[in-house]
A = this chain, B = another copy of it.
Amino acid sequence: MFKQILENIVENTPGAVGAILMGFDGIAIEQHVSEGDDVDLQLVAIEYSNVVKEIRNTAEILGTGELQEVSVKTGRYYVIIQTVTPDYFVALTLERKGNFGKGRYLLMRDTPRLRESLA
């Protein structure tokens, strides 16, 4: 059912490359990659799991409340990350011409469903 949720997010977000549900330990539970894309989503997510851990520590040090969402814009991609539980996060990668707002909305909408499925 993780697969279905991720697939739904990717297929309904114009320009989405893929989505992955992953532990902060860098081990993926499930992923869905859009047809025709050859992005190594696993590699992207592992790299970003370090980033998210760093941001989580930062938020803790600063006492600014728990980390909920991170988004990153680079020359080629958008990456949107939502914390699902203290141990897991979901990351959506989009092309720069993709619909960032819709991807962010779907990810936000479905994070509680992923959380329930993990429980």
Interface residues of A (CB under 8 A from B): 43-44, 47-48, 50-51, 54-55, 58-59, 61-62, 64-77
Given the complex of chains A and B, what is the CA–CA distance between A44 and B59 in angstroms? Answer: 9
Contact assessment for A47 and B65 in the assembled complex, using a CB-CB cutoff below 8 Å: no
Tell me which of B71, B75, B76 contacts A71 (CB under 8 A). B71
Tell me which of B50, B59, B73 contacts A58 (CB under 8 A). B50
- Knowing A69-B72, A70-B70, A72-B70, the reply to whether A77 touches B51 (Cβ < 8 A) is no
Tell me which of B50, B66, B75 contacts A54 (CB under 8 A). B50
CB neighbours of A67 from chain B (8 A): 72-74
Contact assessment for B65 and A75 in the assembled complex, using a CB-CB cutoff below 8 Å: yes
